[in-house]
């Protein structure tokens, strides 16, 4: 899997199950997505802490409305559709191709 990582995306919202207890709302939070053979890993940070959410392809649901969101097992992460999203369009298409394969 060459080029298996996305550029950073701006997080707009997290489900309560993924939100860290000490989450700072005043900071702009970023995330990146990494493709793996059996799923994806979403890395995001809050201050000095780094978190990872592992989502297998068979549980992955991707929605693109006013925001771009990834859902799995009742948890979700929403990303803003800004210039960072536009730069990652090719990567997102690649991710959905792996999911559909």
pLDDT in tens, 15-50: 988 887 776 666 778 999 999 999 999 999 877 888
Rg (CA), the chain: 13
DSSP string spanning 70-99? EEETTEEEEE--SHHHHHTHHHHHHHHHHH
100's enclosing H/E stretch is helix 89-100
14's enclosing H/E stretch is strand 9-14
Q: Which residues contact 9 (CB under 8 A, 6 or more apart)?
A: 30, 31, 32, 33, 68, 79, 80, 84, 85, 88
The alpha carbon torsion through 99, 50, 11, 43 (nearest 10 deg) reads: -10
Residue 101 has pLDDT above 90, yes or no: no
pLDDT in tens, 55-81: 999 999 999 999 999 999 999 999 999
Determine the pLDDT at residue 1.
Answer: 55
């Amino acid at each position: 899997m060459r080029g298996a990582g996305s550029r950073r995306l701006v997080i707009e919202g997290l489900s309560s199950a993924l939100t860290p207890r000490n989450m700072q709302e005043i900071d702009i939070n970023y995330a990146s997505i990494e493709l793996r053979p059996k799923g994806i890993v979403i890395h995001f940070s809050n201050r000095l802490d780094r978190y990872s959410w592992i989502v297998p392809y068979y549980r992955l649901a991707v929605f693109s409305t006013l925001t771009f969101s990834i859902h799995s097992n009742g948890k979700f992460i929403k990303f803003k559709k800004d210039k960072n999203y536009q730069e990652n369009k090719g990567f997102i298409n690649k991710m959905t191709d792996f999911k559909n394969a």
